[in-house]
Amino acid sequence: QVQLVESGGGLVQPGGSLRLSCAASGFSLDDYAIGWFRQAPGKEREGVYCIGKSITATVKGRFAISRENAKNTVYLQMNSLKPEDTAVYYCAAGPDCGRGWDDTSRYGSDYWGKGTLVTVSS
């Protein structure tokens, strides 16, 4: 059975850091690009960042994604967090991180986690 489970969310102060995990079962994460998304209250789900197949780590601004293949897990490191980063964060397994990677329709329904809540507040 294919499953993705996010964890690591919580309450963090502005300027703080948080690392989210995305653990998979039933398939190998390394065979997929992994997109991280977030959805704030009242807003649409949006792409945060993506890591391509067989890429071990990548950084963009305040966000970094890395893989730990031995644990079949992908991490999203978030730094210098702001109140506007408050959202439910999701990971999803997809074909690649090319143009349109943040189109949620590219990801099969079985290849989404249920999300983890990140709250940035003092």
Tell me the three state secondary structure of residue 44. coil
| Percentage of the chain lying above the pLDDT 70 cut | 100
Task: Provide long-range contacts, Cβ within 8 A and 24+ apart, for 76-79.
Answer: 76/19, 76/20, 76/22, 76/36, 76/48, 76/49, 77/17, 77/18, 77/19, 78/17, 78/18, 78/19, 78/20, 78/118, 79/17
The pLDDT tens digits of the residues spanning 44-98 come to: 999 999 999 989 999 999 999 999 999 999 999 999 999 999 999 999 999 999 9
Q: What is the mean pLDDT of the chain?
A: 96
- Token readout for 122 is 């003092």
pLDDT for res 54: 82
